[in-house]
Amino acid sequence: IELPRKYCRFYFMTLRGCERAKCWFGHVPEQGDEKICMEILRTYISIKESGLLKRAVQIFVKYYREVTPGVDFASQVLNDLLISLLKNCLLREVFQILNVTIRINTLVAVDALLKVFEHVASLNIRDAVPTLISIFCKLVDAGMFLEFEHFDCIIKFLHQLHVSSQEINTVLNIKSRYVFKELFYNFICSFFRFAYIYPLPFSQHCKEKSDWTKLGALYVNARTGCEHFDDLQKLSLCIAEILTRDSETDRPGVPFCDFADAVIKISQHNEADRIFIGRTGISVMYSYHKVLQWIKGRKVLDKLHELQIHFTALKGLIGAGRLASRCQIVNKAAEIFLKTGSLDGATWVLRESEWTTNAPLWPCDKMDILNRHNLLCTLVHKYLRKSLYRQAFEVLQNLPGFQNHSDTIDVSQYSCLFNKLINACFESKNLGVSSSAVDFMLSKNIAIDFFLLRGLITALGRSSLWSKARTYYKSALSLGCYPPLQGNVYHKLLTIPSYLSEVEMLLAIEIFLVSNASDIQNPMATSQTLQIILKRCEDQTVQNNGDYQAAVERLILAARVSDPKLFLKHMTMNVNMEEVYSLELTSALKWLQENMKWAGKVWLF
């Protein structure tokens, strides 16, 4: 057993248990650790040692005193524990377990209960009969279903014990109730068949909330007495048909919600009922979606969420939802949330389905993919209008084509959407999301707007996020965002376009320095000159010199913000009326001495 450190290893892992007077570690699994609890019980049962079985009972009783059974509860473990206790003649512990199961509304297997009666009869433990019959009555009241032959076995064991006629009559009375229940079930089946054939009169009759609640109770009672799968299926289809017919009326309420509340409340932790409610909910949602009753559809989805029924992994019970793909069901649900103004709801249902589109177990057609594409694009635009950039980015990452290669979608078409997000982030100075978006686009080979990429590089540099700025500058160079380094950087001449920002200029100078590092660091290089030409743009004529003068100031600023500072000396103006500067060798040498260790790794392509 792999135990977390918070639990006592002596108590759980040794035969003797923990002998400390006061132990700082837990002797009972905490809420949320039901899986560990089940694993401990399995281990103790497999060892078959009496002391460990008693300890298993203590753990079970104490754990389920605080919590109710969850998804990791294993009925087989419970039944195996009862059988092991009986084999070790630990009847008192058996009764402890049975009483706990009654309190937490969890039924043991009928065979396990019959084994208890058989054990008591074979050992002639007459004193245990009153307790056993009391437990039996409570289990029946809790919903345990027995066949008539089971009653016959119990009565046979009681006769072996020579119990009183009063105790025999208790069991016979319960058996007679079962005869009535069977007759009642046959009536219920006939009733639902009538409702299936004539659904409108019935649904019109159910006008009050209490009527739909009673229908829920009626369903649970009928389902409990249902012996055959075919009958249960017919019963479920009748109910679903009745509830979906509400879409043909103008009533304000949503019958499904009242019905679902009643079923879940009465049936407690019955997984079959939860699946039935989920599948019926999908069919009801489809019926409301078809007639554009968005508010009612939303109430169905809210109810499924409230009851924690994961409907995105189910199919509908009747109608179009029964044959729909998972992608289509999620699309319909998300659309209902969008139509009722809930962006979070739409995103929640998409997350719940893990953004699945096409998968071997959940195949879908091209129309489902197209609808998902349109749905997500709508969601992105709504998030952008609300300046919710991180949510918009999450949706963009899950567009068809990214999650599943079988979607056969050309993801390059998403370039415009991603650039729109980056532009919005850029205007809001949200560098985190814009950087993440650029990373994602680079990884998926999606075209980035060079103007936006340059803006991000500049913004990162101005925010002193130089490492990130250098990474993107390097990517931008390989993408062709900047013209090839004109002149020959290895021959001490750098041409910088005047339209660059001071950040971009400094990054270009860093490459220039690293490329010429061996010459600059050569002791004999004192007479060498490192030249920088600030190249004019085509529209920067001599007559319109304002923009070019601003570029000169940016170049000087680039040298100044370098760490350590670089010093430029104006040399001349060439025939193209472009400024020519020399980079002071001493400052260049100092820069390399302090930065070459990391700069060589970054800039040596």
How is 284-318 classified by DSSP, letter by letter? HHHHHHHTT-HHHHHHHHHHHHHTT--GGGS--SS
Kindly list the strands in the beta sheet with 579-583, ordered across the sheet, starting from the edge strand earlier in the chain.
Answer: 493-497, 530-535, 579-583, 568-573
Check whether 198 has a pLDDT greater than 60: no
Give CA–CA dist 127/495, Å, rounded: 103
Three-state secondary structure string covering 168-203: HHHHHHHHHHHHHHHHHHHHHHHHHHHHHHCHHHHH
Check whether 439 has a pLDDT greater than 70: yes
Cβ atoms of residues 125 and 88 within 8 Å: no
Check whether 582 has a pLDDT greater than 70: yes
| pLDDT tens digits along 250-280 | 778 899 999 999 899 888 777 888 999 999 9
Give CA–CA dist 286/526, Å, rounded: 81
Check whether 219 has a pLDDT greater than 90: no
Check whether 1 has a pLDDT greater than 90: no
Query: Which residue in the block uniquely carries the two structure tokens 């009612």?
Result: 296
| pLDDT tens digits along 509-565 | 999 999 888 888 887 765 678 899 999 887 655 546 788 999 999 999 999 999 999
Determine the pLDDT at residue 251: 78
Check whether 211 has a pLDDT greater than 90: no
More confident residue, 135 or 358: 135
Determine the pLDDT at residue 200: 42
Determine the pLDDT at residue 241: 85
- Residue 297 banded pLDDT, cuts 50, 70, 90: very high
Check whether 84 has a pLDDT greater than 50: yes
User: Is 77 inside any structural domain?
Assistant: yes
Where is average pLDDT lowest: 152-156, 211-215, 257-261, 368-372?
A: 211-215
User: Is 338 inside any structural domain?
Assistant: no
Give CA–CA dist 70/32, Å, rounded: 9
User: Is 1 inside any structural domain?
Assistant: no
User: Is 316 inside any structural domain?
Assistant: no
Determine the pLDDT at residue 197: 45
Nearest to 500 by CA among 463, 533, 467: 533
User: Is 571 inside any structural domain?
Assistant: yes
Average pLDDT over residues 436-457: 95
Average pLDDT over residues 25-47: 91
Determine the pLDDT at residue 201: 46
More confident residue, 577 or 360: 577
Mean pLDDT, the chain, rounded, equals: 87
User: Is 495 inside any structural domain?
Assistant: yes
More confident residue, 249 or 46: 46
- Residue 178 banded pLDDT, cuts 50, 70, 90: low
pTM to 2 decimal places:
0.65
3-state secondary structure of 373: helix
Average pLDDT over residues 575-584: 92
Which residues, in sequence order, are bridge partners of residue 531? 493, 582
Which of residues 180, 214, 239 is at a domain's end?
A: 180
* Apex 73 CA angle, 134 and 143, nearest 5: 35
Determine the pLDDT at residue 210: 53
Assigned token pair, 353: 């389905």
Number of domains composing the chain: 2
Average pLDDT over residues 23-40: 90
Identify the domain containing residue 122 by its residue range.
9-180
Average pLDDT over residues 238-259: 85
Give CA–CA dist 157/155, Å, rounded: 5
User: Is 325 inside any structural domain?
Assistant: no
Which of residues 124, 155, 180 is at a domain's end?
A: 180
One-letter amino acid of 375: L
Which of residues 149, 180, 211 is at a domain's end?
A: 180
Cβ atoms of residues 239 and 192 within 8 Å: yes
Give CA–CA dist 299/305, Å, rounded: 10
Q: For residue 57, what is the domain's CATH number?
A: 1.25.40
Average pLDDT over residues 448-457: 95
User: Is 570 inside any structural domain?
Assistant: yes
Where is average pLDDT lowest: 206-220, 232-246, 375-389, 560-574?
A: 206-220
